[in-house]
Amino acid sequence: MPRLDAGPRPARTRPALRAPRPLILDAPPGALQLPDAAAHLWLADATRQPRALERLARDVLDDGERRRAESLRRPSDRRCYLTAHVTLRVLLGAQLGIAAHRVRFRREPCPCCGGPHGRPAPADPELPLHFSLSHSGDLALLAFSSTPVGVDVQTTGPVAVADEVQGALHPREEEELASCPEVDRPEAFARAWVRKEAYLKGLGTGLARSPALDYLGSGVAPVTSPPGWRVEDVAVPGGYAGAVAVRCPTGR
């Protein structure tokens, strides 16, 4: 397999953040040990070795993934999509003990309506393996766990983005953003949004569940997690925000 170096760019971190692994693959890693309420995180940079990435994409992606990539007009969006999905297949293949191109997916039932359009999962419903992926800008963030997991990464936008979605977050989060100095508001909004997206992905609802229902906060302090879940910020490069949500076993 060609060397795919997708390590993260330098970033400031703090102890409250969970650090993902840079993805540096000469060969796929071995099967992951996935204890309850823990997540393995991987961060891939789409700007590293794009030609090798293109070759891998031709070899491992299925027709649907290729069509989706080709439909993306911006080269940067296409490159990041390919990075996320090639990385997902390589890591899932290593976990399942099969070649990346042989990985198959299914859709879980939607928690809101029961329809066959819930979150993606490995084809074998008996397999105790859950995953989530997100990509934005030049980064792809992936999580694997033995319990439901959600992950999100987003670029930090301008103040106008935070102001445009006023009313979409929990009332306490809205109050926090309103009292936040304008210069700090984009990062505060990004923290709140990625925590929200990660949690809703973990639930399997996505934005079908209103982001205003659950309080996860917008500050730099450790996240207030909903009952039965652990939500944590993820250490990502400057200009991005990331978060992961992992469902805890019953009784924790």
Would you state the pLDDT for residue 18? 63
Least confident of 18-22, 54-58, 141-145, 207-211: 18-22
CATH of segment(s) 4-10+17-247: 3.90.470.20
Query: What would the two tokens of residue 134 be?
Result: 């997100």
- Asked whether 169 and 176 are in contact (CB, 8 A), the reply is no
Cα separation, 185 vs 114, in Å, equals 37
Read off the tokens for 233: 């910020």
Interatomic CA distance for residues 248 and 230, integer angstroms: 7
Question: Quick one: average pLDDT of 109-116?
Answer: 81
Q: Tell me the average pLDDT across 29-52.
A: 77
Using pLDDT thresholds of 50, 70 and 90, give the confidence band for residue 30: low
> Is the pLDDT assigned to residue 103 strictly greater than 90?
yes
Average pLDDT, stretch 144-172? 88
The whole-number pLDDT of residue 155 equals 94
Which pTM does this prediction carry?
0.85
The Cα–Cα gap between 73 and 233 comes to: 31
Q: Domain residues of the chain, as ranges?
A: 4-10+17-247
Give the number of other CB atoms < 10 A from CB of residue 189. 27
pLDDT of residue 208: 87
Beta-carbon count within 10 A of 166 CB: 11
